Amino acid sequence: MSSTTSTFSAEQLKATVPLALRKMSPKELVKTPVMFLVEVGAVFTFIIACTQPTLFSFSISLWLWATVFFATFAEAFAEGRGKAQADALRRSRTTTTARRITSTALVTAGSGSGRTNDELSPANYETEEVPSTELAKEDVVLVEAGQTIPADGDVIVGAASVDESAVTGESAPVIRESGGDRCAVTGGTRVLSDWVVVKVTNEPGQSFMDRMIGLVEGANRQRTPNELALSTLLNVLTLIFLLVVMALAPTAAFNGAAQDPLVLVALLVCLIPTTIGALLSAIGIAGMDRLVQHNVLAMSGRAVEAAGDVSTLLLDKTGTITVGDRQAVNVIPVGGYDQDELLYKVQLSSMADETPEGRSIVKLAEAARGEMPEEHFRNLEFIAFTAQTRMSGVKLSDSEMIVKGAAKQIMTTVRELGGTVPAETEDVVNSISQDGGTALVVAELINAPEPGSDPREATANSSLSRVLGVIHLKDIVKDGMVERFKTLREMGIRTVMITGDNELTAQAIAKEAGVDDVLAEATPDQKLALIKKEQAGGHMVAMTGDGTNDAPALAQADVGVAMNTGTTAAKEAGNMVDLDSDPTKLIDIVGIGKQLLITRGSLTTFSIANDVAKYFAILPAMFITAFPGLQALNIMHLHSPTSAILSAVIFNALIIVALIPLALKGVSYRPASASALLRRNLLIFGLGGFVAPFIGIKIIDLIIGNGLGI
């Protein structure tokens, strides 16, 4: 999926030419008035060439047909790349046999019914085998290890490891389970271990894979609002130039400079915006193709276009800006306790802690004092973390334990036991919070009851309990995020971090990452309100999400990117789906959208400047005999009037071919202000579009003037 196709390979050319020829049908071209008019001109000149055969008339007709073919070739080639991707997806999608569950008693009860795992085993489900194409929405199917998931759906019972490489291209398996935001599965993926019960969420032919195939091959591509607006402008310009040429014919005849119909057709074709008219569809198709290459499925071209206009970007903190797991960065003793001894006890208490935070504590201690010999903790009893106690640790003996946990919880426990909490403890905890971190307090409990028990069970010696120090846990900002946010700022995009953390912590992380603004202690309603506020201020808003609670905000955002691992509700609410489920992909999506808009604008500028330059070739050639004063405009000193006109027509056709790779690849985008981008566009494509015809037409004139004697 993510691999790109090489430009103009032999296989692609072979497949593209027949499609391009079919697109030359008037029924197809009438949808593109600019090129349809060129085809009418080609037919007209061909009739003239047949009735009044000359080398000039046949040459004009031939190159007008070539202009039409090159235009359809550009669109066909862009579609061909999408069809190649669609064919690859079709090969990965096979018709499978589904095990549809006929009795839903166990499904209804589910794993939360108190039933044992044996009662909920696959063997107890009543199933029937049906082709996957016969599955309807709301059907429930059983999928075991080694079987292919027959349709899109949500896991409602069980958990399994799933190979999604057929969709994402990523070989690493992922876990899909019921009861959370990781319940969605895609038809065509394969269960590697365990089993799941899946509820189908789409009607036949409307699966995720079906929609993806339709979009990448262009069958379901709808022209975007900007593309439609530009098409309207091109059509209006074409109509204006048609009227101008029609008026020119009698005017020229009245002034004794009657023009050959061949020349008038050539003038019309060179004046109308054929270059951008020929490439417009290819630019749009290629933009969608680039998005697919990044493993992102856009539900419409409108979403891709909107991404290019985004001015506010909403990003979750956890997993997007930060690595997702807090990491220990420091251990601070209090009350004069020895640093090395504290590190030893912290390390010892975390040896059985398999949480990311616990593993990071062990790693930090090992970096300071080395690995702990196994005999130090082999026979010790460890205290597991629970939501009730909010602490974990290790029992060193029947009378002594080392615990670590939430600052408030640990300090309260020590005080209830009559123990010692050094005065600087709260200062250290507050300092860590203000720095955007999380504080874990480490304590030694003497003759204390089991965590969670009644503190009144403490013995007389419990007063010897004391706080030893504080562990500083920190959200680690992902590598490169500071630079990416700087780039976004240069693009004129305001970034907002959304987090459930308190205001102090959120502000500290936002400052470190370089985020422009922050929404702390965020709720779904607050996310939605923020999006509406930004939109009311005239901003285009983009955000990511994966849960059902994100669905309202995803639907409200101008660009809502749902994670493929998320719920069906989230994917249906968004207008894009990221197959890799990488929230930072939103930044790349914005770049692709901007590249699409810039490419379309740049080639439009080039095309119009191109047309202006061709005036200097054709107009003097048409009237120089009747009006010798026009020789001053013949700055290219072309060989003859017929050579000048034919050279302009040939150049008009060949420039389309020259620009096809740029239309497919896209104009390179570098973050800059709107004014800087405009200056660059005018300098490169405006000036370049004006100069190129002078060089190209002169070279062609030298070839045909000296070689053919026209």
For 482-528, the pLDDT digits (tens) are: 888 888 887 788 889 888 777 877 888 888 888 899 988 888 888 88
The pTM assigned to this predicted structure is 0.68
Residue with tokens 């349809």: 36
Q: CA-CA distance, 127 to 124, in Å (whole number)?
A: 9
Please give the pLDDT value at position 243: 92
Find all residues with CB under 8 Å of 359, minimum gap 6, and list them. 350, 353
DSSP for 66-97, please give it: HHHHHHHHHHHHHHHHHHHHHHHHHHH----E
pLDDT mean over 294-311: 81
Q: Are strands 174-177 and 184-185 parallel, antiparallel or unpaired?
A: unpaired
pLDDT mean over 210-215: 65
Please answer whether residues 136 and 172 qualify as being in contact, where contact means their C-beta atoms are separated by less than 8 angstroms. no
Q: Which of 604, 603, 628, 630 is nearest to 619 (CA)?
A: 630
Task: Name the residue with higher pLDDT: 381 or 104.
Answer: 381
Q: What percent of the chain has pLDDT over 90?
A: 19
Q: Which of 405, 396, 520 is nearest to 451 (CA)?
A: 405
Residue 215 structure tokens: 């979009």
Q: Are strands 494-498 and 517-519 parallel, antiparallel or unpaired?
A: parallel
pLDDT mean over 103-111: 58
CA contacts within 13 A on the Cβ side of 573: 23
Helices (H), 537-640: 551-556, 568-573, 585-623
Please answer whether residues 472 and 437 qualify as being in contact, where contact means their C-beta atoms are separated by less than 8 angstroms. yes
Q: Sorting pLDDT into bands at 50, 70 and 90, what band is 213? A: low
Please answer whether residues 471 and 431 qualify as being in contact, where contact means their C-beta atoms are separated by less than 8 angstroms. no
Please give the pLDDT value at position 4: 40
The answer, yes or no, to whether residue 655 has pLDDT greater than 60, is yes
Q: Sorting pLDDT into bands at 50, 70 and 90, what band is 79? A: confident
Question: 507-512 contacts: CB < 8 A, separation 24 or more?
Answer: 507/436, 508/434, 508/435, 508/436, 508/437, 509/317, 509/321, 509/322, 509/436, 509/475, 509/477, 511/436, 512/436, 512/477, 512/482
State pLDDT tens for residues 474-483: 878 887 888 8
* Strand order from edge to edge, sheet including 541-545: 296-298, 576-578, 559-563, 541-545, 312-316, 494-498, 517-519
Lowest mean pLDDT among 461-470, 497-506, 621-630: 621-630
Q: Sorting pLDDT into bands at 50, 70 and 90, what band is 532? A: very high
Give exposure, 510-538, as e/b (b: 16+ Cβ within 10 Å).
Answer: bebbbbeebbbebeeeebbebbeebeeee
Residue 97 structure tokens: 């046999």
State pLDDT tens for residues 626-640: 677 666 766 777 777
Q: Which of 325, 318, 358 is nearest to 506 (CA)?
A: 318
Q: CA-CA distance, 631 to 490, in Å (whole number)?
A: 49
Q: Is 531 helix (H, G, I), strand (E, B) or coil?
A: helix
Find all residues with CB under 8 Å of 81, minimum gap 6, and list them. 5, 12, 286, 289, 664
Give the best-scoring range by mean pLDDT among 157-166, 182-191, 334-343: 334-343
The answer, yes or no, to whether residue 554 has pLDDT greater than 80, is yes
Please give the pLDDT value at position 710: 61
Angle at 66 between CA 633 and CA 282, to 5 degrees: 100
Identify the burial level of 262 via C-beta atoms within 10 angstroms of its C-beta, where 0-12 means exposed, 13-18 middle and 19 or more buried.
Answer: buried
Please give the pLDDT value at position 90: 62
pLDDT mean over 321-345: 86
How distant, in Å, are the alpha carbons of 269, 387, 653, 697 from that of 637? Answer: 22, 87, 22, 11
- SS3 annotation, 348-374: HHCCCCCCHHHHHHHHHHHHHHCCCCH
Please give the pLDDT value at position 91: 59
The answer, yes or no, to whether residue 218 has pLDDT greater than 70, is no
Q: CA-CA distance, 647 to 582, in Å (whole number)?
A: 52
Q: Sorting pLDDT into bands at 50, 70 and 90, what band is 229? A: confident
Question: 120-128 contacts: CB < 8 A, separation 24 or more?
Answer: 120/157, 120/158, 122/195, 125/101, 125/197, 126/101, 126/102, 127/99, 127/100, 127/101, 127/102, 128/99, 128/100, 128/102
Q: What is the mean pLDDT of the chain?
A: 81
Task: Name the residue with higher pLDDT: 270 or 563.
Answer: 270
Q: Which helix (H) or strand (E) holds 234?
A: helix 225-254
The answer, yes or no, to whether residue 566 has pLDDT greater than 60, is yes
Q: CA-CA distance, 449 to 184, in Å (whole number)?
A: 44
Residue type, 571: K
From the CA atom positions of the chain, what is the Rg in Å? 35
State pLDDT tens for residues 578-603: 877 777 788 888 888 888 889 999 99
Helices (H), 370-498: 407-416, 424-434, 481-490
The answer, yes or no, to whether residue 181 has pLDDT greater than 50, is yes
Please answer whether residues 600 and 305 qualify as being in contact, where contact means their C-beta atoms are separated by less than 8 angstroms. no
The answer, yes or no, to whether residue 111 has pLDDT greater than 70, is no
Q: Which of 73, 72, 63 is nearest to 31 (CA)?
A: 72
Q: CA-CA distance, 61 to 54, in Å (whole number)?
A: 11
Q: What percent of the chain has pLDDT over 70?
A: 85
Q: Which of 545, 573, 586 is nearest to 181 (CA)?
A: 545
Please give the pLDDT value at position 159: 84
Please give the pLDDT value at position 469: 94
Residue 239 structure tokens: 């109509």
Q: Is 185 helix (H, G, I), strand (E, B) or coil?
A: strand
The answer, yes or no, to whether residue 431 has pLDDT greater than 80, is yes
Please give the pLDDT value at position 208: 64
**Cα 663 versus chain centre, distance:** 20
Please give the pLDDT value at position 275: 92
State pLDDT tens for residues 246-289: 888 888 787 777 778 888 898 899 889 999 999 988 888 888 77
Residues forming a β-bridge with 417: none
Q: CA-CA distance, 445 to 395, in Å (whole number)?
A: 9
Catalytic residue positions? Answer: 316
Residue with tokens 């569809």: 281
* Number of helical H runs and strand E runs in the chain: 24, 20
